[in-house]
């Protein structure tokens, strides 16, 4: 739909149309983070006593993968997004359960990433703290070496 037409709709109708445009799976992410579209066509979180926080544009939501959306919400850079999108078959999404530890979950609910072969768990919050590409490459090298070690056994 035309962006100008979306901007001129009521907020309820705008949200309905925008949710239809991104699809059911991406809406699970939108719901998890309690996001709603604003007049500028950005998905934002509205919380009482706090300023609204914009997360990403509707354009990004339409073109991005589920991993891309989650990584964007968690402030992970494009290099990290591309690496995990390209190597996703080696990982599973997880959440932490205080009784069971790390448990696999659906992609939209991901808070951690577990390497299937090694069990190494990466916290999305910790990944976001890696600011330098060389540091991220070191992490990638480490988990890839561990994966190879397991494969050789």
Contact 76, 124 (CB under 8 A): yes
Contact 119, 112 (CB under 8 A): no
Contact 93, 104 (CB under 8 A): yes
Overall average pLDDT of the 28-47 stretch: 95
Last residue of a domain, one of 63, 84, 114: 63
What digits encode the pLDDT tens for the residues 1-36? 788 888 888 899 999 999 999 999 999 999 999 999
What digits encode the pLDDT tens for the residues 103-123? 999 999 999 999 999 999 999
- Pick the closest to residue 138 from 126, 130, 128 (CA basis): 130
Q: Which domain holds residue 49?
A: 1-63
Q: Is the pTM of this model over 0.85?
A: yes
Phi, psi for residue 122 in degrees, rounded to 5:
-115, 130
* Domain shared by 153 and 83, yes or no: yes
* Domain shared by 152 and 98, yes or no: yes
Give domain status of residue 128, yes or no.
yes
């Amino acid at each position: 739909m035309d962006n100008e037409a979306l901007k001129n709709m009521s907020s309820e109708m705008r949200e309905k149309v925008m949710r239809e445009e991104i699809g059911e799976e991406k809406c699970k992410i939108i719901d998890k983070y309690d996001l709603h579209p604003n007049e500028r066509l950005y998905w934002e979180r509205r919380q009482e006593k706090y300023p609204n926080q914009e997360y990403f544009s509707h354009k990004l939501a339409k073109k991005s993968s589920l991993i891309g959306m989650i990584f964007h919400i968690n402030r992970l850079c494009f290099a990290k997004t591309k690496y995990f999108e390209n190597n996703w078959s080696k990982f599973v999404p997880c959440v932490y359960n205080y009784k069971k530890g790390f448990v696999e979950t659906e992609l939209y609910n991901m808070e951690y990433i577990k390497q299937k072969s090694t069990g190494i768990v990466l916290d999305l919050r910790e990944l976001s703290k890696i600011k330098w590409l060389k540091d991220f490459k070191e992490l990638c090298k480490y988990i890839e070496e561990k994966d190879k070690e397991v494969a050789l056994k």
